[in-house]
Amino acid sequence: MIKAIALENVWLNFSDETKAAFKKNKAYQFQFKKEEELTESDFMETEVLVGLPKPDLLAKYKNLKWLQLLSAGTNGYTQGANFPQEVVLTNATGTYGLTISEHLLTMAFVLLRKFDLYQKQQEKEIWENIGQIQSIYGSTVLVHGLGDIGSHFAQKIQALGGHVIAVKRTVYGDEEFADEVYAETDLDKVLPRADIIASSVPGTHETYKLFNQEKFDLMKENAIFLNVGRGTNVDLEALCDALESKKIAGAGIDVTDPEPLPKGHRAWHTERLLITPHASGGYTLPETWRRFMKILKKNLDAYANGKELTNIVDMKTGYKRNAHK
């Protein structure tokens, strides 16, 4: 039997029935443990690991062949030099597109219709029409990253009458839900056209502080900037400067650098900056968990039968192998 361990950040979401079903799988000897409860025999014998283990502990697993992450993001594993070369890494791409795209859309509506300003007025008991607003209908929306999240968001934008410009690593010509498609190298060329910029790309060496003062200077004064990728992709000080100087109209971020965002940071009090605490994904939406379980079960069956796994990560890029993003 294949020894497999699901770490606490996975099995906390399991019902008793789900745990029982996994334990009945004849191909696997499944255990559910907290990382601090792992024994020397666990490190010696475990072949399959499911969850978000501490990257610096991976070297202790002497028989590990496959790590299934709970997240779509992989930068904590792919950017370190110590990830075991013999271990196959798979992520949870396909799990979060629905919930995170809805989070993006909510942030966009709040900022376009100035609900953030009306909320402040309500707190002060002020009854006053703030004035002109914007609509997604007829707007140009730059979708930065056309993976699972970006594709879901682009589809929703098109349904609402927006014009989608997609910017991605590689252009293949068969991209769905995009009216125009450009390579990453063309980002500066299309930024000045966008009313909304929504970025969902992972954190890599290439995307580190990609959105800096120069990028914000290229944006329209009415532009809305949204980021649900990684906090390291944005120069937060430059974003605060752009908002305070009104170079852009508003921003919504679900990720920050540093993270958690420290108390006292200027971003907390920057006007027209919406901040959520890395809450766009996770498993607060039941459908998200169902989608992850579908991927996990498919991969467990594939591994037990010697077939190729879904969502294998390219360790050089941090993306799912052969992903059209």
CA distances 49 to 45, 56, 164, 196, 258, Å, are 11, 15, 39, 39, 28
Residue 97, CA distances (Å) to 143, 153, 234, 316 in order = 13, 8, 21, 23
**H or E element, residue 107:** helix 97-112
Active-site residue, from 193, 265, 272, 278: 278
Structure tokens at 193: 């056209």
How far apart, in whole angstroms, are the C-alpha atoms of residue 144 and residue 113? 22
Instruction: Record the tokens describing residue 127, joined without a space.
Output: 């009854």
Active-site pick, 259, 271, 287, 308: 259
CA pair distance 266, 254, nearest whole angstrom = 16
Interior angle at CA 148, CA 145 and CA 153, nearest 5: 70
Beta bridge partners of 280: none
DSSP, collapsed to helix, strand or coil, labels residue 225 as strand
Q: Which of 103, 144, 169, 230 is catalytic?
A: 230
| Active-site residue, 278 included | yes
**47 tagged catalytic:** no
Q: From the CB of residue 123, how many other CB atoms can be counted at a distance below 10 Å?
A: 8
Let me know if 259 is a catalytic residue: yes
Tell which residue, 100, 105, 180, 172, has the closest CA to residue 135.
105
Q: Is 229 exposed, middle or buried (0-12, 13-18, 19+ CB in 10 A)?
A: buried
Mention every residue, 6+ apart, whose C-beta is less than 8 A from residue 77: 55, 58, 67, 69, 83, 89, 313
Q: Which residues are catalytic?
A: 230, 259, 278
